[in-house]
Amino acid sequence: MNRLRRYSLPYLVWMGIFILIPTVVLLILAFSDLSLYRPGTFRLSLANFAIFSLPTTQRAIWNSFRFAGIAAAICFIIGYPVAFYLSKLGIRVRKILISLLIVPLWSNMLLRINAWEKIFTANSIVTDVFGLSISLVGTDAAIVLGMVAMYLPFMVFPIFSVLEKMDPKLVEAARDLGANDVQTFFRVVFPLSGGGVISGFVMTFLPALTTFVLPAYLGLGKYTLIGTLIESKFIKEAADSRALSINQGSLISLFLMILSITAFLLVIRVDKEGETLI
Amino acid sequence: MRKVLRDRLYKGIGLTFLAATLLILYAPILVILVLSVNDSRRGYAWEGFTLKWYSALFTGSALTEPILNTLAVAFTATAVATVLGTIFAIGINALEKKRRVKMVLLNNIPVVNPDIVTAISLMIVFSLLSLTFGFGTVLLAHIFFSMPYVILSILPALRKLDANLYEAGLDLGCSRGQAVTKVILPNIATGIFSGAMMAFTMSIDDFVITYFTSGANYMNVSTWLYSKLRLPQAFTPAAYAYNIIIFAVTIAVIVSSNLVNVRKERLKNEKIG
């Protein structure tokens, strides 16, 4: 068995190349005027921080946190009862229902968002076929609901995987000791499922916080979120060779990286082996 | 009596929320299905039933090249990520506990990282290496983001495997290679298969990472969609048809493989019984 250990070594090198190097480079870019494509001058500076004082940036950060926070909370309110209900079912039905939650994710995300855009548009094809006329595109609600629709399963899965493994004897013990349903739930079941809840919040909040496709379609392009900012700094403005756009983009990405490292530390405190992640 | 009522109430709430979830998840699929058989290029209104978007997929359209690119990347990335992921997973599993936990943590970083952060990291590495953005960079990127999932789905199977089996294989005269291919691999085959399926489904639908690592001239279906959904003249509803076909094929593969597994289990149980 010990001979097999060396097979893990190349993976360490591979991850080093793709995780460590870009993090260092992002740091350098964020705190300097170095150009990624035409390295010339190099001066350490804090000038890139100026983007955080722009109203557009501030609004983007505020809106992203607000939308992603509300969306994750809605996912939790819907997702927890669903995961709880599923964990109580027989193994056969449970397996079928879980696959039913996975299957829609195999449909292209851009097309699913495009479909939501049609659902949220009054007098669209959805009105013709299903008689439904909702006018929501271009509003906060459309973006939040879109986030819920895209990321809800990622709240259900980790909570379900924790509840499924929970020892039913613990619930019996609580009953025997005189706890009623509500007490059993809030003092035994819920605290024990905390790891799944934390993973669920991370797996819904982070993608919602960083999306740039959703606001482009469901917000009709009127909203600038954090993802939109990064997209424009790295792709659109970089294509126009706008000075420092990549450096400013790197600074915002670094901000996201710190957030996701924090989230990561939270997850590994409750789930070392990553069992709630798939 | 009160308990029965209360149980019914809990069940009712669970069922209602489950129904709501399924509705939210399947509503867009239904809309895509309708759009794929709608006789209208713009898709603003229902203009009658047609299958022409499905046939357009096979006779060629603006989508042909992005579809071929998507499939080429998905198949190659899945193959490479599955083979390498299996080797790495076997290596990680053989580590002593402390190191193993650390490696699993490292493995999970890209899983938790939002796509856009992974995408930018990869874009930076590729720029530093002065690689030409296109098929090669997209392929590397897809191998990178799908491999952790392959490893995550193989590790539990490896942990269940008795470590002594490998040694027993060696004692019984297997070469080291044979001990891996004849003892370890058959026992973790289900984990490898589900890892491969996960890699494939993630690669075929990826947008964000491809968008940042493909450069201006190489497109997969998702990046093509992103540039064309707002341009009715350039868009074709064949995209909806493509999505429905891929969707149906994925379901068929998963369902049939599950059936095979169920049948195998049953045979095993009958033999034992």
Instruction: Determine, for residues A11 and B92 on separate chains, whether the beta-carbon distance falls below 8 Å.
Output: yes
Confidence of residue A268 (pLDDT cuts 50, 70, 90): confident
Report pLDDT for B8: 84
Report pLDDT for B270: 67
Q: Residues A3-54: pLDDT tens digits?
A: 788 888 899 999 989 999 999 999 999 998 888 777 677 888 888 888 899 9
Instruction: Determine, for residues A85 and B17 on separate chains, whether the beta-carbon distance falls below 8 Å.
Output: yes
Report the residue of chain B nearest A23, measured CA to CA: B121
- DSSP secondary structure letters along A193-251: THHHHHHHHHHHHHHHHH-SHHHHHTTTT----HHHHHHIIIIIHHHTT-TTHHHHHHH
Query: Both tokens of residue A12?
Result: 């360490």
Contact A96, B20 (CB under 8 A): no
Report the residue of chain A nearest B42, measured CA to CA: A125
Question: Is the confidence at residue A60, as pLDDT, over 90?
Answer: yes
- DSSP secondary structure letters along A168-200: HHHHHHHHHTT--HHHHIIIIIHHHTHHHHHHH
Report the phi/psi class of residue B95: left, alpha or beta, with left for phi > 0 and alpha for psi in -120 to 50.
beta
- The DSSP H or E segment spanning A21 is helix A21-30
Per-residue pLDDT averaged across A231-254, rounded?
Answer: 85
Instruction: Determine, for residues B221 and A230 on separate chains, whether the beta-carbon distance falls below 8 Å.
Output: no
Q: Which residue has the higher pLDDT, A109 or B173?
A: A109
Mean model confidence pLDDT for chain A: 89
Confidence of residue B272 (pLDDT cuts 50, 70, 90): low
Question: Is the confidence at residue A108, as pLDDT, over 50?
Answer: yes
Collapse the DSSP code of B66 into the 3-class scheme (helix H, G, I; strand E, B; otherwise coil) and give the result: helix
State the residue for tokens 């083979």: B83
Q: Residues B221-265: pLDDT tens digits?
A: 999 999 998 888 889 999 999 999 999 998 898 888 777 777 776
Taking Cα atoms as reference points, which of B253, B238, B249 lies closest to residue B32? Answer: B238
State the residue for tokens 């060396």: A6
Report the residue of chain A nearest B213, measured CA to CA: A235
- Judging contacts by C-beta atoms under 8 Å, the chain B residues touching residue A275 are 156
Instruction: Determine, for residues B115 and A210 on separate chains, whether the beta-carbon distance falls below 8 Å.
Output: yes
Report pLDDT for B273: 47
Q: Residues B97-123: pLDDT tens digits?
A: 899 988 998 998 888 889 999 999 999
First to last CA, chain A: 27
- ∠ at Cα B234 (B242, A118), nearest 5°? 65
**Which residues are paired to B2 by β-bridges?**
none
Name the residue facing B114 among A14, A84, A206 (closest C-beta).
A206
Report pLDDT for A278: 62
Query: Both tokens of residue B212?
Result: 């940042």
CA distance A54 to chain B (A): 22
CA distance B59 to chain A (A): 22
Q: Residues B137-169: pLDDT tens digits?
A: 999 999 999 999 999 999 999 988 887 888 888
d(CA A158, CA B149): 15
d(CA A127, CA A222): 24
Per-residue pLDDT averaged across A113-138, rounded?
Answer: 91
Contact A161, A203 (CB under 8 A): no
Q: Is the sign of the CA dihedral B183, B81, B194, B18 positive or negative? A: positive
Question: Which residues have CB under 8 Å from B32's CB, separation 6+?
Answer: A107, A111, A112, A115, B240, B243, B244
Report the phi/psi class of residue A221: left, alpha or beta, with left for phi > 0 and alpha for psi in -120 to 50.
left
Q: Residues B1-25: pLDDT tens digits?
A: 677 787 788 888 889 999 999 999 9
Contact B144, A273 (CB under 8 A): no
Cβ atoms < 10 Å from Cβ of B200: 21
Report the residue of chain B nearest A24, measured CA to CA: B121
State the residue for tokens 């294509």: A239
Q: Residues B167-225: pLDDT tens digits?
A: 888 888 888 888 888 888 888 998 999 899 999 999 999 999 999 999 889 999 999 99
Confidence of residue B42 (pLDDT cuts 50, 70, 90): confident
- Judging contacts by C-beta atoms under 8 Å, the chain A residues touching residue B34 are 125, 129
d(CA B20, CA B17): 5
Confidence of residue A273 (pLDDT cuts 50, 70, 90): low
Cβ atoms < 10 Å from Cβ of B159: 12
Question: Is the confidence at residue B75, as pLDDT, over 80?
Answer: yes
- Judging contacts by C-beta atoms under 8 Å, the chain B residues touching residue A115 are 27-29, 31-32, 35
Report pLDDT for A3: 79
ipTM score assigned to the predicted complex: 0.90
Name the residue facing A78 among B11, B17, B208 (closest C-beta).
B17
Cβ atoms < 10 Å from Cβ of A93: 10
**Which residues are paired to B35 by β-bridges?**
none
Question: Is the confidence at residue A177, as pLDDT, over 70?
Answer: yes
Q: How many A×B Cβ pairs under 8 Å?
A: 253
**Which residues are paired to B49 by β-bridges?**
B38
Domain ranges across chain A:
55-270
Q: Residues B117-138: pLDDT tens digits?
A: 999 999 999 998 989 999 999 9
Report the phi/psi class of residue B123: left, alpha or beta, with left for phi > 0 and alpha for psi in -120 to 50.
alpha
Report pLDDT for A239: 74
d(CA B215, CA B218): 6
- ∠ at Cα A104 (A68, B239), nearest 5°? 100
The percent of residues above 70 in pLDDT, for chain A, comes to 97
Domains of chain B: 52-272 (1.10.3720.10)
CATH architecture of the domain covering A55-270: Orthogonal Bundle (1.10)
Q: Which residue has the higher pLDDT, A270 or B206?
A: B206
